[in-house]
Amino acid sequence: MGSKIMYESGKLDPERFFKSKSILITGACGTIGKYLAKHLITYEPRRLRLLDFDDTRLTELKDELQDLDDGKKLTYLIGDVRDKSRLIRAFEGIDYVFHCAALKHVAIGEYNPGEVIQTNVLGTENVIEAALQNNVEKVIYTSSDKAVNPTSTMGASKLLGEKLMVAANYIKGSRKTVFSAVRFGNVMGSRGSVIPRFRKRVQKELSLIVTDPDMTRFMMPIQDAVRLTIEAMLLSYGGEIFVLKMPSVILKDLVDLFSEHAWMKYGIIPKIETIGHFPGEKNYEELMTEEELSRTLELPSMYIILPHIMELQREFHPKIQAQMGKVQTKAYSSQFTPTLSKKELESILRKFDVFTNT
């Protein structure tokens, strides 16, 4: 790598990077996977394979994307990341992999920890093995802020997934494959977020169920999540964790906005029902630890956490290392990050059509 290493997100050219390349997305029917597919197909890849274990949702995705696939470049694969032999076959001839498949619901995961480990940890190890066996060029793993100082099974599994991805760069031997990760906050409107649940309850004129109105969370529109993931693929050299800069929100403000929208559209004011924390749930989330800040670079729109394995860090140019440790003085937490005002939050929700289906 030597002196060639540079992180300049403003000079990225995804059209040139992905053109005529072969790409695969695991968990393609999830929110991130689906929006990634819609973006990537516009870059004219040679092929785009979409892998998911749910054949019904895969069929629905095929119907949704068929008008974008004039060149018949999309292939829909039924498969589970728990099945390594299936992944090895699916990864044949692939240049880039976006690993989005995961079990993501914190409360359900607390009652099913073995299943979370099977998919999120062992499944990630299978992705690494399949990528190495097929000499894939790059793999990007989609992680979560819940991986930072985790209190839940899901969060712990995501932390292990990150560790596996970083270490894969160290154990790969002479193979060329590069492994890196992106770390998300809550993606607005994704199936795992509170927003779709609020939508459905408003439509049915039911109460809005809240665990703790004072809870804070990092929020990012799906468009920003996809942009970060694509930029990470272009920028990665191996072992980095890419973190988008994002604001935090107070749950009470989100609830109030949905309540006000329900009044304006339906003439009703939903009852607010506070039920307390779910198992494994935190009152605030973190995107970086204090230890990680000591090896973090800052770009205008993101942070890049360099690998904790020193042998990998030494691969980076000394000038890059000299920039580390100049980001913040305490952990990047939604507890300390300035929160959006209610007006600012409403503007974002309307800009990205969060209220459209309510």
Q: What is the crossing angle of helices 251-266 and 194-203, to 10°?
A: 30
Residue 196 lies in a domain: no
Is residue 48 a contact partner of residue 40, using CB atoms and an 8 Å limit? Answer: yes
Phi, psi (5° rounding) for residue 27? Answer: 60, 40
Q: For 45-78, write each residue's pLDDT tens digit.
A: 999 999 999 999 999 999 999 998 877 899 999 9
Is residue 182 a contact partner of residue 143, using CB atoms and an 8 Å limit? Answer: yes
- The better pLDDT of the pair 61, 1 is held by 61
Q: Which domain holds residue 10?
A: 2-187+219-246+286-329
Maximum pairwise Cα distance, the chain: 65
Which helix H or strand E contains 116, and what residues bound it?
A: helix 113-116
CB atoms within 10 A of CB 122: 16
Q: For 315-326, write each residue's pLDDT tens digit.
A: 654 556 555 555
- Report in angstroms the alpha-carbon separations of 248 from 171, 196, 284, 286: 37, 19, 9, 10
Residue 206 lies in a domain: no
Residue written as token pair 């032999």: 85
Contacts of 316 (CB under 8 A, 6+ apart): 1, 5, 237, 306
Q: Could you tell me the two tokens for 320?
A: 């890059």
Has 104 been annotated as catalytic? no
Residue 157 lies in a domain: yes
Q: For 220-271, write each residue's pLDDT tens digit.
A: 888 889 999 999 999 999 999 999 888 888 888 888 887 887 767 777 778 8
- Determine the Cα–Cα distance for residues 49 and 94; give it in Å rounded to an integer: 9
Lowest mean pLDDT among 155-159, 217-221, 258-262: 258-262
Write down the catalytic residue from 146, 163, 176, 319: 146
Give me the half-sphere count of Cα atoms (radius 13 Å) on the Cβ side of residue 267.
0
How many domains does the chain fold into?
Answer: 1
Q: For 160-213, write each residue's pLDDT tens digit.
A: 999 999 999 999 988 999 999 999 888 776 666 677 777 777 777 778 888 888
pTM of the model: 0.88
Residue 351 lies in a domain: no
Residue 334 lies in a domain: no
Residue 52's domain is classified under what CATH number? Answer: 3.40.50.720
- Determine the Cα–Cα distance for residues 90 and 24; give it in Å rounded to an integer: 8
Beta-strand ranges (E) seen in the chain are 22-26, 47-52, 74-78, 96-99, 138-144, 178-184, 186-188, 208-210, 216-221, 241-244, 248-250, 272-274, 286-288, 296-298, 302-305, 332-333
**Section 140-152 average pLDDT:** 94
Please write down the HEC assignment for all residues of 260-328: HHHHHHHCCCCCEEECCCCCCCCCCCEEECHHHHCCEEECCCEEEECCCCHHHHCCCCHHHHHCCCCCC
